[in-house]
Structure 1
Amino acid sequence: MRSVVFAVLRTARTSAILSYRSVRSKAMPPKAGLTPYQGKSRCFGEFKCPVCNRKWQSANSWANMGQKCENCKGDFVYPYKQTQLLKPDEDHINRNKDHPQDKCQKCRQLGRPCNGGSWR
């Protein structure tokens, strides 16, 4: 009887751990490198929220730093793709658009805008 109860508890616990791991893996990348890019400079990142599937791009993406989704405002979302920034005349970045520092993990860590602009 005791081994049967232990087996049931163990199975339930294992299922809970496996379901937690599958949810965690969708929301957070593995710890080795939280982002594809591991350099020290700013880069271009592509993001997809695992909760609401909202996609966005940012020219203010950094290694191992995330941004919060504007829809969910939940945990930080890490970029699934990062590429080197192009020269200003080669990119399609809207420089008049504000960078939402309140949703940027790098800005929060620095205590100032990560892109060198003014704090908003």
Structure 2
Amino acid sequence: MRFMKKNNRIVVLFLMFTLLIGCQATHQTRTLITDKSSINHPFIVTYVTGKFSEYGYSVNQDEQIKIYKDNEEKWTFIQTAPDNTESIITVMWDGQSEIAETIFVQVANKVVYKR
């Protein structure tokens, strides 16, 4: 009986460890970009607003687009409308060039494109 209890503890510890590692692997830390001069801001704003309009959403000048750097090549742009709906675009981009690849688009809380 003691042997079985010890095995149960080992299994529980293993499962907890696996769960912890899994949660850390899926967690992303985004960095909000506040210094827009550090990136090619004119290009990316034009790119993002163009993508929004492709899916039938036009960004109001009063609605600010927040820029997040997910990692070295992945960026997320979030725009919150006055009615609290969010429009999100995630792109692969180096932060400087005039080439970006869209991998995710959500317009007014509805996913409209996912690569």
**TM-score range with shorter-chain normalisation?**
0.3 to 0.5
TM-score by length of 2: 0.41
Name whichever structure is richer in helix by fraction.
2
Larger radius of gyration: 2
Name whichever structure is richer in strand by fraction.
2
Higher relative contact order (CA 8 A, sep 6+): 1
